[in-house]
Amino acid sequence: RKKVILDVDTGVDDALAIMLAVTSGQFDILGITTVSGNVSLDQATENTCKILQLLGVSAEIPVYRGASKPLKREPFFEHNVHGRDGIGGALADMPVLKEAEAEAAADFIIRQVLAQPGEVTLIMTAPLTNLAQVLQKCPELVQHTAEVIIMGGVVKGFGNITPTAEYNMYVDPEAGKQVLQAGFERLTLVGLDVTRQALLTTVDIDRLRNPEIAAYVTQSTADYRQRYFERNGVQACALHDPLAVAVAMNRKWVTVQDYYVDVETRSDLCDGQTVCDFQNRLNKPPNVSVCLEVDDRAFMEGFIHSLNQELTE
Ligand code: BDR
Ligand code: CA
């Protein structure tokens, strides 16, 4: 099983990414690190602990708290998208029975990667602050990480927080830039170009077999689906973060191409924009495998199948 660490700012879709990673049975999840993003660090950590409890794996998967704000900027929460608590109030009554560990997220990542050089994949579904801190503390980690898969950015389409920027890159563009420029041998960007197509509809939700999981997914995505309905006439929830996990599960679900990509950090209008050098105008070697297409139905089958596994395995 692939050894992974998930880095999350647990909002609606991060929670579903954790669920996919756990139920898929394909990963040895070494731990989950949290960061300020959609919600505060405290809230993201609480949500993460609750999701692991819901799945019955809180004893096996430790949680580590990371950065409470971006490297240089103030936090930019998304309560309008993810609800006041980040997961649509779905687990409001659940007490946290197992808290996060004392070790800091960056130290945990460094310790795990160095202990198992070349074996650990980092799946990042939040602003990249924690990984940037890791690189500042331990630059040689780059050589020892098997792969980094990032939900972030958009290269052909438009942004979801400004006209040009995707949320995770917008919130901490300095961190995004450091990570993309760090020299990782395998770094994959799962951006809005593909995640916008990974739509969970009510028809899909109706296929969930585990009553607890179905109830959770229904409630946590309700407002998100409703807002999507108001704009697009269909009830759906974009599975941005689960698609990053899916790429770690089965790369065949996406089509990737290698390009040089950088993040804008010094613009009034375009901070957080991921600029992809499609025509090699900058004459720099590719640093990122960019996801350009997705087999969204195959992915969704895999997603539903995994979440239904919990019942029997
Ligand atoms: C990303 O931003 C967050 O709101 C989601 O959790 C996802 O990681 C999508 O742009
Ligand atoms: Ca996220």
Q: What is the reported pLDDT for 311?
A: 44
CA 312 to ligand 1 center in whole angstroms: 31
Q: What is the reported pLDDT for 310?
A: 57
151 close to ligand 1 (CB < 6 Angstrom): yes
Q: Categorize the per-residue pLDDT at 177 as very low, low, confident or very high, splitting at 50, 70 and 90.
A: very high
Give the pLDDT confidence of 19-51 residue by residue, as tens digits.
999 999 999 999 999 999 999 999 999 999 999
- What would the mean pLDDT of 189-203 be, rounded to a whole number? 97
Q: What is the reported pLDDT for 80?
A: 80
Question: Residue 14 CA: which ligand 1 atom is closest?
Answer: 6
Give the pLDDT confidence of 270-290 residue by residue, as tens digits.
999 999 999 999 999 999 999
Contact 131, 122 (CB under 8 A): yes
Q: What is the reported pLDDT for 175?
A: 99
> What is the spatial distance between Cα 309 and Cα 291, in angstroms, rounded to a whole number?
27
125 close to ligand 1 (CB < 6 Angstrom): yes
User: What global pTM score does this model have?
Assistant: 0.98
Instruction: Spell 38-61 as b/e; 16+ CB within 10 A means b.
Output: bbbbebbbbbbbbbbbbbeebeeb
- What would the mean pLDDT of 211-233 be, rounded to a whole number? 95
- What would the mean pLDDT of 60-88 be, rounded to a whole number? 93
> What is the spatial distance between Cα 61 and Cα 274, in angstroms, rounded to a whole number?
32
- Phi and psi angles of residue 54, each rounded to the nearest 5 degrees, phi first: -55, -40
Residue 227 has pLDDT above 60, yes or no: yes
The yes-or-no answer on residue 240 being catalytic is yes
Complex prediction ipTM: 0.99
CA 61 to ligand 2 center in whole angstroms: 19
- What would the mean pLDDT of 50-67 be, rounded to a whole number? 97
Residue 74 has pLDDT above 80, yes or no: yes
**What rounded mean pLDDT belongs to the chain?**
96
Q: What is the reported pLDDT for 195?
A: 98
Q: What is the reported pLDDT for 312?
A: 40
Burial class (CB in 10 A: 0-12, 13-18, 19+), 121: buried
Q: What is the reported pLDDT for 10?
A: 97
Of the candidates 82, 144, 240, 305, the residue annotated as catalytic is 240
Q: Categorize the per-residue pLDDT at 225 as very low, low, confident or very high, splitting at 50, 70 and 90.
A: very high
